[in-house]
Amino acid sequence: MSSARKVYHMRVTEIIDHTPTVRELVLKTEEPGEFTFKAGQFVMLNVPQGEAKPILRAYSIASDDRIKNGFRLLFKFVENGVASTFVWALKGGELINFTGPFGKVFFQEPPTEQIVFLNTGTGLSQHICYLLSKKEQYPNLRYRMLFGVRSEKDMYYQKEVEALMKELPDFKFEFVLSRPSEEWKGKKGYVQNFISEFDYKNIPTTFYLCGNGGMIKEVKHQLLEVDGFDKTRIWSEAFD
Q: What CATH number does the domain containing 193 carry?
A: 3.40.50.80
Instruction: Give pLDDT tens digits for 202-234.
Output: 999 999 999 999 999 999 999 999 999 999 999
Residues 78 and 143 in one domain: no
Question: Rounded to an integer, what distance in angstroms lies between the CA atom of residue 46 and that of residue 83?
Answer: 9
Judge whether 108 lies within some domain: no
Statement: residue 1 has pLDDT above 60: no
Judge whether 218 lies within some domain: yes
Statement: residue 65 has pLDDT above 90: yes
State how many domains the chain has: 2
Residues 65 and 173 in one domain: no
Residues 35 and 145 in one domain: no
What mean pLDDT do residues 70-97 have? 97
Q: Are strands 234-238 and 205-211 parallel, antiparallel or unpaired?
A: parallel
Instruction: Please tell me the pTM assigned to this model.
Output: 0.95
Residues 121 and 90 in one domain: no
| Domain edge (last residue) among 102, 137, 168 | 102
Judge whether 118 lies within some domain: yes
The per-residue pLDDT for 239 is: 82
Question: Rounded to an integer, what distance in angstroms lies between the CA atom of residue 22 and that of residue 159?
Answer: 15
Residues 221 and 125 in one domain: yes
Residues 15 and 123 in one domain: no
Residues 95 and 131 in one domain: no
Fill in the DSSP letter of residue 166.
H
What mean pLDDT do residues 31-48 have? 96
Residues 137 and 36 in one domain: no
Instruction: Give pLDDT tens digits for 108-119.
Output: 999 999 999 999
What mean pLDDT do residues 52-80 have? 97
Residues 123 and 79 in one domain: no
The per-residue pLDDT for 174 is: 98
Statement: residue 156 has pLDDT above 70: yes
CA neighbor of 62 nearest in space, from 234, 240, 239: 239
The per-residue pLDDT for 42 is: 97
The per-residue pLDDT for 93 is: 98
Residues 85 and 123 in one domain: no
Percent of the chain whose predicted confidence (pLDDT) is above 90: 96
Residue 3: band (very low, low, confident or very high) from pLDDT cuts 50, 70, 90:
low
Instruction: Give pLDDT tens digits for 132-154.
Output: 999 999 999 999 999 999 999 99
Judge whether 144 lies within some domain: yes
Residues 160 and 60 in one domain: no
Fill in the DSSP letter of residue 154.
G
Range of the domain at 42: 7-102
DSSP-assigned letters across all residues of 6-33? -EEEEEEEEEEEEETTEEEEEEEEEESS
Judge whether 107 lies within some domain: no
What mean pLDDT do residues 183-203 have? 97
Judge whether 224 lies within some domain: yes
DSSP-assigned letters across all residues of 121-153? GGGHHHHHHHHHHHTTTSTTSEEEEEEEESSGG
Residues 144 and 44 in one domain: no
| Domain edge (last residue) among 73, 102, 131 | 102
The CATH number given to whatever domain includes residue 91 is 2.40.30.10
CA distances (Å), 154 to each of 14, 89, 140, 162, in order? 21, 21, 30, 17
Statement: residue 4 has pLDDT above 80: no
